[in-house]
Amino acid sequence: QVQLQESGPGLVKPSQTLSLTCTVSGDSISRGGYYWNWIRQHPGKGLEWIGNIYYSGSTDYSPSLKSRVTISVDTSKNQFSLILRSVTAADTAVYYCARLSNVGGYWGQGTLVTVSS
């Protein structure tokens, strides 16, 4: 069973950088065949795709966040990470990591990140 777990600070100050890591178990990122995604959900709102990465390091980002986002992968640790720069209160959300494909999706439990001074 594939499991994903987000980790990182729950509180980030405005203008600073949000950094989260997703640890994968039950599958190997380097096996290929899947895209490893970051998705967020503002309080009471819908799902917003942030971007994803393939095991090769190829990335794709939401146009609305592309200028502030970097997603990277560490296949030796079976982890992938999210960096979101210059955060504001509008970036307060639950952040999910997920393995998505045409044959299914596995999601982490999500982690609430609050942007506040």
Partner 1 sequence: SHYLTQPPSVSVSPGQTASITCSGDRLGDEFACWYQQKPGQSPVLVIYRDNKRPSGIPERFSGSNSENTATLTISGAQAMDEADYYCQAWDSSSTVIFGGGTKLTVL
Residues interacting with partner 1, by CB under 8 A?
A: 35, 37, 39, 46-49, 52, 54, 58, 60, 96, 100, 102-105, 107-110
Considering the complex, what minimum distance in angstroms separates the CB of residue 14 from partner 1? 26
One-letter amino acid of 71: I
Comparing CB distances to partner 1, the nearer of 23 and 49 is 49
13's CB contacts (< 8 A; 6+ apart) are: 115, 116, 117
Considering the complex, what minimum distance in angstroms separates the CB of residue 117 from partner 1? 27
- Cα–Cα distance for residue pair 101/18, rounded to 1 Å: 26
Comparing CB distances to partner 1, the nearer of 16 and 67 is 67
Comparing CB distances to partner 1, the nearer of 14 and 57 is 57
Considering the complex, what minimum distance in angstroms separates the CB of residue 11 from partner 1? 20
Considering the complex, what minimum distance in angstroms separates the CB of residue 102 from partner 1? 5
- Cα–Cα distance for residue pair 76/50, rounded to 1 Å: 24
**Which residue shows structure tokens 């203008």?**
15
Return the ∠ at Cα 3 (arms to 20 and 52), rounded to 5°: 50
